[in-house]
Every structure is written in structure tokens, then in C-alpha cells.
Amino acid sequence: MIKKSLLAIAVSSAVMISACNSTQENTTKAAAETAVAALDASAQANKLFDELYKAAIMRSPMYQTYLGIKDDYDKWNDISEANTLKELAISKTELETIKAIDVSQLDAQTKISHTLYQQRLENSIADHKWRFHSYPVNQMFGLHSQIPAFLINQHSISSEKEAQDYISRVKGTEKLLAQLVDNLKLREERGIIAPKFVFEHVIRDSNNIITGAPFDKGEASTVLADFTRKVTKLEIDEAKKSALIKEVESALQAHLKPGYDGLITYLNHLESKADDRDGAWKFPEGEAYFNNALKRTTTTNLTANEIHAIGLSEVSRIHDEMRVIKDKVGFKGDLNAFMEFMRSDKQFYYSADEAGKARYLSEAVALIDDMKGRLDSLFLTKPKAELKVKAVEAFREKSAGKAFYQSPAPDGSRPGIYYANLYDMEAMPTYQMAALAYHEGIPGHHMQMAIKQELEGMPMFRKYGGYTAHTEGWGLYSEMIPKEIGLYQDPYSDFGRLAMELWRACRLVVDTGIHTKKWTREQGIAYYVNNTPNAKSDAVKMVERHVVMPSQATAYKIGMLKIVELREKAKKALGAKFDIREYHDIILKNGPVPLNVLEDFVNEYIASKS
């Protein structure tokens, strides 16, 4: 009886095992087929994303040049209202195409790409409503300064044809600037005119472009000097070089000058109608516009009041940390007195002559080179592109920001550039040099931008697009992490790091103050002067930036706070398993993403390690 039962059990088990094996094989086969289908569907989706993105690039000659593509090297973008409407129609068509994709068939990374691309199109379509809520000519940016900067820094000349393309672009500036004037008129009709302070800057900078030969006697003008320098290096006979230079001189006189003259005339007209109201609250539906701008900038649902409160809290915290350093260096007096000392004592500033500026640049390079040698302790992935440190060019240094970064060409033909603005050396204290170099260079924007462009298998829109909160949040976070590996040993340098962070905390307060609480330009300047050690000229520039770029400056601190918050969450959850290098890979190797998507990535990282 027992033996019979055992035999029955054995036979039954054999049948069950055979059935299980068959089921397992079927399950494995089905899983493999699903994986292949997901791979195929994802490949098709990524191909579509790239096709749509490439099509957009090929409609933008200027963006092509930024990416090192020379198909339309002789053209400018079409910035007419008619073309804006065409682009809107294209976005609507693309959105329907994207929505038709079966998301359930995609792998995890491609699902994220689908979400981001769809959101990108939806935001673009929704933001069409606000397309006139901006100042396309201002002291921070605009075609009036972009044209020469673009020709100098982007349009390389390695052949006679590329020289002719440059000349064609000079000829095209007349039409381009006329379109710009049309865009300004559309804004004027809606009562959207920049505050009065803007016009002194933009009129001056525009006049600078048409000063010098061939427009008048004296040294070569900015564009002529650039063209001559580039053509002189060509390996062609001297007669051809002379002919090209004469041709560009003619184009400058016949096309570029009339274009700028027309712009300057219209700017003078606008200046006569401008007032001193600084905030976005003055725009039609200004409150709704600014709330939308905050959402786009921070990729959060934080309100203006919440952001203002975060700023006030961070300012208070950083002031307390500064007091510790004040006491450490033995300064007698309160924090405001210490800030005044840091602001005015000559030991913290280099001379404004060429020797002082050269010293600043060489020491910035040394800081970056030192940081390069320490990256292994912080990063698994490092950029291939080189980084160059350069002073802001003379034609735009008076109105340009304190420092900024320009991405390398994806093909490696042009390095990344950290621009330091040395126009006012009293606004560039040595104790802030390290934090600035880390932010704009390494491990900041250069690592971030170069790595994202070098990513394999990532759709182009994620490699070349961006989210300000992620991008600038990383930049500010990059000022902090060198301290964690033993840098900023000099207490004054550490004070400089805090001063830079304090500056970004103040931005939360002042940006929202100007655009929702009706703060005046003077109130904003006073807040910076009373709460930071920075020069008053810094405060003036920063407030003027807030005015013409509503919400943009809130990205830095909001982004940094989220990166730090997620890092602490991962450290707490993983304990000894936490690896800072892996965490930084999560931030950088997925390209720029909204902060909520970044949080999803970190949660997945925690789950995978747990």
C-alpha cells in the first residue's frame, strides 16, 4: 500500500515536473518575445524622437551651427510671427504622432523619453499663449548681441566657401534684424515694453557693433576684425584673402549697418514709451504668466509665496554659517561689518589691468586642473570634451553676466568654454573664484553638458535639451561637493562658497518679490546689498536680470535643494551600500530631466541596491 502510493506519487510528480518545465519554457519564451518586442518598439520610438528632433534642427540654421552641422551655414533662423505659427502647427501634428505610440510596448528608459517628449510638445503648445510675454532685446541676451557673438564663437572658417557663408550671414542680418523689430512691435501693441533701464544697455551694445572700420575711421569693428583674423589664417593666395575682406566690408556697410540702424531707431522710440515698472505683474494676465513660468523653471508646483519663504529660510541658515567663519578668522564686529570687509578689502581683489586679469584666469585654470585630478573619488563617468577658460569679449562684457558656460561642439571640434567677466574686477573677488570655477567648469556645467552630449543610445532631444532646475541645480550643488573632499581649506574661500550659495538663496526672495509683490528695482538691489557681501554692481546686474528673465533665477536653489534632499534620502536608505559616484551617475547619465523624474530615478536606484 505504501509502495503503491509512493509509485503513484512519483508518476504524478514526474507529470507535474514535465508540465512545470513546459510552462517555464513557455513563460521564458513569452518573456523573451516580449523583451524583443519592447526592444523593437523602443528602437522605433527612439528613431522617431530623433527624426522629429533632427527635423527641428534642420529648420534652425543657427542651432545647426551650435551643434557643428554646416548644412545651412550661410543662413539665419526665421524668427517671423508667420514662422512661429508654422512651428506651432508642426508641434500639434507631432504631438498626435507621439500620442499614437503604444507606451505599454516600450522599455523603461524609452517610456521616460516618451513622457518627456510628449510633455515638451504639450508645454510648447500651451506656452504659445505667452510668446509675447518677454523682452527679446535686453541687457542679458538678444539678437543685437547674439549676432556678433555667434559669428565670432560659432562660425569657424576653414575654407573659402565657409568665408563666403560668413559673408552671406552678414548680408542676412538686415532681414533678421527687421524681423526682430517686427517682433518688438507686436509686443508694443500689447503694452509689453521693457523697463526704461534696459534701453541704455541695448542701444549702447548695438552701437558698439557698428563702430570702427568700415563704418568709420579707426580700428576694425568687432565683426570685421573677427572675419579678417579667420580669413588671414586660410591657406589661399593673398589676392583671394583681400577680395573676401573687401566683400565682407561691403556687406557690413550695405546690410549689417542698416539692420542695426533700424533696430536702434526703434529702440529709441520704445525708450520714450518705457516706464519703471519692473515686474511681470504688469503684463496682461501677469500673475498667470509668472505662475506658469515658475512651473516651467523649477519643474515643481511650488507657488511664488512658497519659493519666497524657502529663500528667506535659506538666507537665515547661511548667515548663521557665515558667522561661524567670521568668528573663526577673529573678525570683531557683526556679520554686516564682516560682509563690508569682504566686499571692500583690497586683499581680495586683483588689479583691473591686464596683469590682474591674466592672473585671475590662470588661477581659475589651476583650480579646474586640480579638480580634474580629484574626480575619481566622486565620479564614475567623466567627459571627453576639453574645457577652456576665457574672458568675456570686450564688445559685450559691460552688460554680460558675471560668469557663464558654453557647451562644446558634439563632434569635438570646439571645447566647452567657461567665460569669466573681468570687466569689473571689483565684482570678481578672489574668495569666490573657486566656487565660480567649480560651478561653470568642473565638476559643474562642463561635466554635466559634455557628459549628456556624449551619452550613448539616448535620444537627441535628451542629449541636447535641458531643464533649468536640473542644470542649474547641479551647477550650485557642484560648488558644494568639493568641500566634501577637503577643498575650501582657506576659511575666506569657504566664505566665498557660502556667499555664492547665499546669492542664489536671495534670488528666490528677490525674483518672487519683484514679479509678485511689486518690489521695485531699488528694493531688490537693497535686499542684495544688505544681505550679501557682493559688490553693489553685482546686485544691480542681478536685479536687472530678474526683471528681464522672470522666474529663471529660482532654478538654482530649488534644483540644488532637491539634489541634496534625494542624496540624503539615498544615504539614509542604503547606509554602507551608498556610493556617491553611483549617485552622481544617476544625476548626469540620464541627461537633464524634471525634478520629479529625477526623484523616480533615485527611488529606483535605492530599490535596486536594497
pLDDT tens digits, one per residue of 485-498? 999 999 999 999 99
Phi, psi at residue 419, to the nearest 5°? Answer: -95, 125
Query: Same domain for 467 and 508?
Result: yes
Query: Does the pLDDT at position 36 exceed 60?
Result: no
**Of residues 503, 477, 506, 502, the one with CA closest to residue 319:** 502
Place of cell 533632427: 54
pLDDT at 38: 59
Query: Does the pLDDT at position 19 exceed 80?
Result: no
| CA distances from residue 375 to 272, 381, 438 in whole angstroms, order as listed | 54, 9, 12
Query: Same domain for 198 and 95?
Result: no
Q: By CB neighbour count within 10 A (0-12 exposed, 13-18 middle, 19+ buried), where does 289 fall?
A: buried
Choice among 24-28, 140-144, 565-569 with the minimum mean pLDDT: 24-28
Q: Residue 532 gets which letter from DSSP?
A: -
Q: What is the pLDDT of the chain when averaged over all its residues?
A: 92
* pLDDT confidence bin for 37, thresholds 50/70/90: low
Query: Same domain for 476 and 422?
Result: yes
d(CA 78, CA 361): 38
pLDDT at 298: 97
pLDDT at 410: 84
Per-residue pLDDT averaged across 588-598, rounded?
94
Choice among 377-381, 456-460, 507-511, 586-590 with the minimum mean pLDDT: 456-460
For residue 577, being part of any structural domain is answered with: no
The domain in which residue 166 lies consists of 143-274
| Cβ within 8 Å of residue 360, ≥6 positions away | 350, 420, 422, 425, 428, 430, 433
Work out the percent of the chain whose per-residue pLDDT is above 90.
Answer: 87
Query: Same domain for 382 and 493?
Result: yes
Query: Does the pLDDT at position 8 exceed 80?
Result: no
| CA distances from residue 357 to 316, 349, 350, 351, 422 in whole angstroms, order as listed | 34, 10, 7, 7, 7
| Cβ within 8 Å of residue 215, ≥6 positions away | 221, 252, 253, 257
**Of residues 600, 591, 563, 561, the one with CA closest to residue 447:** 591
Query: Same domain for 159 and 220?
Result: yes
For residue 593, being part of any structural domain is answered with: no
Longest dimension (CA), the chain: 119
d(CA 557, CA 474): 10
Query: Same domain for 263 and 306?
Result: no
**Of residues 191, 291, 187, 312, the one with CA closest to residue 551:** 291
d(CA 121, CA 216): 47
pLDDT at 322: 98
Query: Does the pLDDT at position 607 exceed 60?
Result: yes
Q: What is the dihedral of CA 25, 26, 32, 33, to 10 degrees?
A: 150
For residue 156, being part of any structural domain is answered with: yes
| CA distances from residue 322 to 136, 336, 342, 497 in whole angstroms, order as listed | 39, 10, 12, 10
Query: Same domain for 487 and 443?
Result: yes
Phi, psi at residue 39, to the nearest 5°? Answer: -65, -45
Residue 214: asked if its preceding bond is cis (omega within 30°), the reply is yes
Among left, alpha and beta (phi > 0; psi -120 to 50; other), residue 551 is left
Continuous segment of H or E residues that includes residue 111: helix 108-127
pLDDT at 537: 85
Residue ranges of alpha helices (H) inside 128-214 are 143-153, 160-189, 196-209
Domain-ending residue, one of 249, 274, 299: 274
The β-bridge relationship of strands 403-406 and 416-420 is antiparallel
| CA distances from residue 203 to 200, 399, 424 in whole angstroms, order as listed | 6, 11, 20
pLDDT tens for each residue of 468-487: 999 999 999 999 999 999 99
Domain-ending residue, one of 130, 151, 185: 130
Strands, sheet with 403-406, edge to edge from the N-terminal-most edge strand: 387-391, 416-420, 403-406
Q: By CB neighbour count within 10 A (0-12 exposed, 13-18 middle, 19+ buried), where does 508 fall?
A: buried
Query: Same domain for 332 and 450?
Result: yes
For residue 610, being part of any structural domain is answered with: no
pLDDT at 28: 47
Query: Does the pLDDT at position 26 exceed 70?
Result: no
| Cβ atoms < 10 Å from Cβ of 537 | 13
Choice among 12-26, 101-115, 290-304, 330-344 with the minimum mean pLDDT: 12-26
pLDDT at 12: 38
Query: Does the pLDDT at position 32 exceed 90?
Result: no
Residues β-bridged to residue 96: none
Place of cell 519703471: 276
pLDDT at 1: 35
* pLDDT confidence bin for 158, thresholds 50/70/90: very high
Please count the CA atoms within 13 angstroms of the CA of 263 that sit on its side-chain side.
Answer: 31
Query: Does the pLDDT at position 24 exceed 70?
Result: no
Q: Are 62 and 77 in contact (CB under 8 A)?
A: yes
Continuous segment of H or E residues that includes residue 602: helix 595-609
Helices (H) and strands (E) in the chain, counts: 24, 3
For residue 579, being part of any structural domain is answered with: no
**Of residues 361, 482, 480, 371, the one with CA closest to residue 417:** 361
pLDDT tens for each residue of 544-559: 999 999 999 999 999 9
Query: Same domain for 262 and 371?
Result: no
pLDDT at 181: 98
d(CA 16, CA 195): 82
For residue 576, being part of any structural domain is answered with: no
Domain count, the chain: 3
Among left, alpha and beta (phi > 0; psi -120 to 50; other), residue 529 is alpha
Residues β-bridged to residue 404: 419
Amino acid at 148: P
d(CA 252, CA 211): 11
Query: Same domain for 498 and 447?
Result: yes
For residue 486, being part of any structural domain is answered with: yes
Query: Same domain for 398 and 365?
Result: yes
Per-residue pLDDT averaged across 78-85, rounded?
98
d(CA 2, CA 358): 97
pLDDT tens for each residue of 402-425: 899 999 988 888 899 999 999 999
pLDDT tens for each residue of 360-373: 999 999 999 999 99
Continuous segment of H or E residues that includes residue 388: strand 387-391
Q: Cα dihedral sign for 592, 596, 597, 599?
A: positive
Query: Does the pLDDT at position 583 exceed 60?
Result: yes
Query: Same domain for 268 and 350?
Result: no
For residue 24, being part of any structural domain is answered with: yes
Rg from Cα positions in the chain: 28
Secondary structure of residue 234 in the 3-state scheme? coil
pLDDT at 10: 31
pLDDT at 67: 87
Per-residue pLDDT averaged across 235-247, rounded?
97
Residue count of the chain, please give it: 610
Q: What is the dihedral of CA 159, 160, 161, 163, to 10 degrees?
A: 90
Give the cell for residue 447: 561635466
